[in-house]
Chains A and B, each alone.
Chain A
Amino acid sequence: MAPLTRQQTFKGEYAIELTDVKKSFDQGKDFILKGIDLKIPRESLTAIIGFSGTGKSVMLKHILGLYEPTSGKVEVLGQDLSELNNNDLTKFRCNYGVLFQSAALFDDMSVLENVCFPLDEHRRHLKKDQVIQIAYDKLKMVGLDPKHFEKLPSQISGGMQKRTGLARALALDPEILIYDEPTTGLDPILTEMVDNLILETHKLNQGTTSVMVSHDLAAAFRIADFIVMLDAGRVLLSGTAQDFFKSDIELVKRFVDKGMKH
């Protein structure tokens, strides 16, 4: 693996802080997020879990600055996102690396070009061969065979697409890595592969804060060191896996029971 060159700038205790975040899409008639208070520790691997429709994706979009909260505050790496204008927010997003559920690879670019893309955009001082070298290193880091590098995303398997998506997310050595339901719709073998990849990537990229949104409770307990459970737009419980096993909250118990059976 190539040595990481990222210079850590943020030294606070929490990489992401949400304070009483509320979100309504219909002028306050109905709230999707009903006052989220959440602190995600820096350098942790945090899993955000919950049933469908509990506001996980909406919360994630607030963290990414794609949605503005109706009220409340979202701070990422000590920066209040509401204080940033559109241009600054666009630049600030270089601190994120995101692996989407569908991998979201650009279908008119090869695997290698997909990983080169963020480097071409934000590391303009680098020469083309340096960009390609970094992209090669990232693709090898996620375990993709070089024989697939020149293929289009449609010519590789779902697992390889996830690996490419992860390599692209890692291209800029982001401070925060976000996994948006990375294993939804995958078979058990591929699910385990992706879970291991997340864990391995987190260990290899020292200093990175990883946030994984997932339905997969077993994976969350296995790989995450901090877990947040959402229910009906609120944080129901946050803590370690042990805190969840010990919890007396009925919904948490049910979720844990069901999750561990699968």
Chain B
Amino acid sequence: MSADWVLKTAHGMDQFFFTIKNKIQNFITLIGEMTLFGYDSLKLLFAQPYRYGEILKQMEFVGNQSMGIIALTSTFTGLALSFQVYLGFKLVNAVNLVGPTVALGITRELGPVLTGLIVAARAGGAMAARLGTMRVNEQMDALDVMGVNTKQYLIAPRIIAAIICMPLLTALFDFMAMFGCWFLCIKIVGLDQAIFFEKISETLEVTHINEGLFKSAIFGLLFGVICTFKGFHTTGGAKGVGEATNRGVVISMVSIIIIDYFLMNIIRIYYLVSGIGRGF
């Protein structure tokens, strides 16, 4: 081993760790900036002038306009998941447990996560694109110089609308997915309807549904803050708007999946400590 090779390797490793350090630093800075951005915006909800009209407008966009796509995707998710679970449980002669298994999986995991992903892509992407366009077209500057607080007028209503609408959309997802499950189990496969409902009511608790709804509100906060942050800080014309939209949606989706895992563990610990939810 020559001294030159050692020096080159050391330099390469140095560069590698320097890049990693920078990436971690930038990531932490970004999280900090987004947190402050969300906090600054949401606290303006309680400052005058109140923007109830804007909140309702955004709720209509995030919630009402997402209902169709949520109803459609959830029904087919329920159908597909139930069929897969049915095929597996048939092998061990436990088909009566298809209903409760799907119910638990949908209400606690798939419902909030899939709703989060779908709404982040649809409404979050639109939020980032709209705000980005307003930024590059000087409409945000116009609001600023008109003495209108852009975070209060544009950001806070969008974030709060996402937080409020996500549990409602998740409830719709849960209901429609379970309808899909019922349809497959009872109408296609021919299981006993009374046993289907009895097993579900034995297993599923309100706490489990609340767990999913709580997680979905957190996901709403997540994609609301991320997408508005990206849109608000758009630079560079039409290309910048595209990039902001893309990054907003991608970061939101990845965050929802990662945060879901941690939330799942936190809630499980809470169940174990408090004794509710039968510990699972």
Contacts and interface: CB of A to CB of B under 8 A. Distances in A.
A94 B147 contact: yes
B49 interface: yes
Nearest to A61: B141
Contacts of A117: 146
Nearest to B44: A87
Contacts of A104: 137-139, 141-142
A100 B138 contact: yes
Nearest to B150: A90
A121 B145 CA distance: 12
A118 B49 contact: no
B60 interface: no
A146 B56 CA distance: 31
A98 B145 contact: yes
Interface in B135-175: 137-139, 141-142, 144-149
A106 interface: yes
A93 B49 CA distance: 16
Interface in B194-211: none
- Chain A binding surface, main DSSP class: mixed
A101 B142 CA distance: 11
Contacts of A124: 49
Interface string A45-60: 0000000000000000
- Chain B binding surface, main DSSP class: loop
Contact of A90 (B137, B139, B142, B147): B147
Contacts of A94: 146-147
Nearest to B144: A66
B261 to A, nearest CB: 38
A122 to B, nearest CB: 6
Contact of B139 (A92, A93, A106): A106
Contacts of A66: 141, 144-145
A91 interface: yes
A93 B138 contact: no
A93 B142 contact: no
Contacts of B137: 102, 104, 107
A96 interface: yes
Interface residues of A, number: 24
A74 interface: no
Contacts of A98: 141-142, 145
B274 to A, nearest CB: 42
Contact of B144 (A93, A105, A106, A122): A93
Residue among B137, B138, B145, B148 with the most chain A CB within 10 A?
A: B145
Contact of A122 (B141, B147, B149): B147
Contacts of A64: 144-145
Interface string B32-65: 0000000000000000010000000000000000
Contacts of A87: 149
A100 B141 CA distance: 9
Contact of A96 (B139, B145, B148, B149): B145
Contacts of B147: 90-94, 118, 121-122
A105 B141 CA distance: 11
A238 B149 CA distance: 34
Residue among B139, B141, B146 with the most chain A CB within 10 A?
A: B146
B11 to A, nearest CB: 27
B141 A121 contact: no
B146 A121 contact: yes
Closest 4 CB pairs of A and B: A104-B138, A104-B142, A93-B147, A94-B147
Interface of A: 64, 66, 87, 90-94, 96, 98, 100-102, 104-107, 117-118, 121-122, 124, 172, 178
Interface of B: 49, 137-139, 141-142, 144-149
Given A66-B145, A104-B138, 12 more contacts: A66-B141, A90-B148, A93-B146, A98-B141, A102-B138, A107-B139, A117-B146, A121-B49, A121-B146, A121-B148, A124-B49, A178-B145
18 contacts: A64-B144, A66-B145, A90-B148, A93-B145, A94-B146, A96-B145, A98-B141, A100-B141, A101-B138, A102-B137, A104-B142, A105-B142, A107-B139, A117-B146, A121-B49, A121-B146, A121-B147, A122-B147
